[in-house]
C-alpha cells in the first residue's frame, strides 16, 4: 500500500464501519449515539439503504486502492462523496444548529475531500508522465 492510496483506504474503512453502524442495528445504535428511537419501518429502511450506499462506495474505494485502473474513478467518487456530505452537514449546521458528533464528522469529511483533491492533482499528473514515456 503506497501513500497515494491511503486516503482511499482510510475513508473506506470509516465509511464501511459507519454504514454498518447505521444500518446493521439501527434500533440499537441510533438511540444510543444520537438519542432518538428508530421505530418506523420507513426510517429503518432508509438507514439500511444508507448502509448499502456506504458499503458500495467503501468497497469501490478499496478496489481503487488495489486496481490501478480504478484509482482515478475511486478518487473522484471519494471527492464527490466527501464534498457532498460536507456540504449537506454545513447546510444543516446553518439551518438546524451544531452537533458535536457531526462537527467531528464534518472535519474528517473535509480532510478527506481536500486530501483526495490533492492526491488527484499530484498523482494524476505523475501517472500521466509515467504512462507517456
Residue-wise pLDDT tens digits, 57-84: 999 999 999 999 999 999 999 999 999 9
Three cell numbers, residue 51: 448502509
User: What is this structure's pTM?
Assistant: 0.87
The Cα–Cα gap between 53 and 60 comes to 11
pLDDT above 70: percentage of residues in the chain:
92
- What's the mean pLDDT in 28-32? 86
Three cell numbers, residue 78: 471519494
The Cα–Cα gap between 8 and 10 comes to 6
Amino acid at each position: 500500500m503506497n501513500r497515494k492510496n491511503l486516503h482511499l483506504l482510510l475513508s473506506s474503512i470509516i465509511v464501511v464501519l459507519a454504514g454498518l453502524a447505521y444500518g446493521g442495528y439501527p434500533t440499537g445504535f441510533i438511540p444510543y449515539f444520537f438519542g432518538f428511537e428508530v421505530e418506523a419501518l420507513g426510517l429503518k429502511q432508509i438507514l439500511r439503504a444508507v448502509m448499502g450506499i456506504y458499503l458500495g462506495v467503501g468497497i469501490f474505494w478499496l478496489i481503487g486502492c488495489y486496481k490501478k485502473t480504478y484509482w482515478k474513478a475511486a478518487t473522484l467518487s471519494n471527492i464527490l462523496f466527501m464534498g457532498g456530505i460536507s456540504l449537506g452537514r454545513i447546510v444543516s449546521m446553518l439551518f438546524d444548529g451544531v452537533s458535536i458528533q457531526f462537527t467531528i464528522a464534518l472535519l474528517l469529511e473535509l480532510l478527506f475531500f481536500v486530501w483526495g483533491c490533492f492526491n488527484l492533482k499530484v498523482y494524476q499528473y505523475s501517472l500521466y508522465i509515467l504512462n507517456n514515456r
